[in-house]
Amino acid sequence: MTLNYKSKRNPNKIYPYPWILSSIIMSLYVWSLPILSYLFDQNKNKYLCNTLVICSDNTSFYNKTGSLYGCGCGQGIFGQSVCPVCDYGYTISSYIATAPATGLMACVSAFPSAAIWLFGTGSNRLYYECRKTIPIFLILLAKSTIISFQVCFFIFLFATDCIFPHLHDISVSLFCLFGIIHYCLIAYIYQHYYDDKRGSKYIINLCLISMFSFCLFILTGHIYDTQQIYLFKYFPWAFECLGITTSFSIAPIMIWYEYIH
């Protein structure tokens, strides 16, 4: 028995819903990280978590837990939930800085990443089945930017913020930049070579949401760190989640858009 993800109405169209579901699962994972971190708190496990914890919002870890020691860098199942320990406040990076959480992030992002290459913005179908001939330099630029995006995303998973903080920051900045450039190119191709202004508009809107989310992630994290406005501690995580959600939803949404037209 083989799995066939093609549409029964049109065998040339891909059935989109398994790929949309995979994107939803990834989104649910990053948005539920604070809850997961709280539910799987390991601070009382002295064999696993034995680091002097210093909260970045100037609160006392001892006053909250009755101990100076808890889950530090890479310890526990998820990152610290009692208080933020990252200079930017709470972030996806700080929540998944442990081996189990990073592994789970790799699992839930595998199918959305595959969607980009099999049926989405890295697929040859996108470039060779349009109404007009796309210049080869545009195809090469689009493919090189999505390759760069995914390589930087894989480095982001490997180089956790507590083990490789500088490499981690660089990889995050670069995968955001390459992703924005790539999807702007795809929007341009949809508008000028597919003559599909509606599809182009969807992609541009998702690109704008992603771009502004990542910019606000950096801004609110900087304000938290430098201005010591600790009410902002969840803002970087929220804007990073929105950026990741929209970035990895574009390819499944494109598959769905093609399916219904």
Question: How does the average pLDDT of the chain come out, rounded?
Answer: 85
User: Whose CA is closest to 186, among 164, 157, 210, 168?
Assistant: 210
Please tell me whether residue 6 adopts helix, strand or coil conformation.
strand
Q: Is residue 11 part of a domain?
A: no
pLDDT in tens, 7-17: 444 555 678 88
Q: What is the pLDDT of residue 1?
A: 39
The number of C-alpha atoms within 13 Å of 195 and in the hemisphere containing its C-beta is 3
Among 20-24, 95-99, 196-200, whose mean pLDDT is lowest?
196-200
Cα distance from N-terminal residue to C-terminal residue, the chain: 29
Q: Is residue 6 part of a domain?
A: no
Across the range 194-221, mean pLDDT stands at: 82
Q: Is residue 10 part of a domain?
A: no
What's the rounded mean pLDDT across residues 110-122?
Answer: 84
Q: What's the one-letter identity of residue 56?
A: S
Q: Are 130 and 193 in contact (CB under 8 A)?
A: yes
Proportion of the chain above pLDDT 90, given as a percent:
28
User: How large a percentage of the chain has pLDDT more than 70?
Assistant: 95
Q: What is the pTM of this model?
A: 0.86
Instruction: Quote the number of domains for the chain.
Output: 1
Sequence-separated (6 or more) residues with CB below 8 Å from residue 98? 74, 75, 76, 77, 78, 79
Instruction: Tell me what the mean pLDDT of segment 151-180 comes to.
Output: 88
Name the helix (H) or strand (E) containing 52: strand 51-52
Which two three-digit tokens encode residue 214? 């990542």
Q: Who wins on pLDDT, 126 or 88?
A: 88
Indicate whether 5 belongs to any domain.
Answer: no
What is the C-alpha to C-alpha distance for residues 184 and 33, in angstroms, rounded to an integer? 30
In a domain, 1, yes or no: no
Does 23 fall in a domain?
yes
Determine, yes or no, domain membership for 87.
yes
What is the phi/psi pair of residue 11, to 5°?
-65, -15
Above 80 in pLDDT, residue 128?
no
Is 169 part of a structural domain of the chain? yes
How many whole angstroms separate alpha carbon 87 and alpha carbon 38?
Answer: 20
pLDDT at 12: 59
Domain that holds residue 163: 17-260
- Residue 3 clears pLDDT 80, i.e. is over it: no
Instruction: Give dist(CA 95, CA 33) in Å, integer.
Output: 7
Q: Which residue has the higher pLDDT, 97 or 127?
A: 97
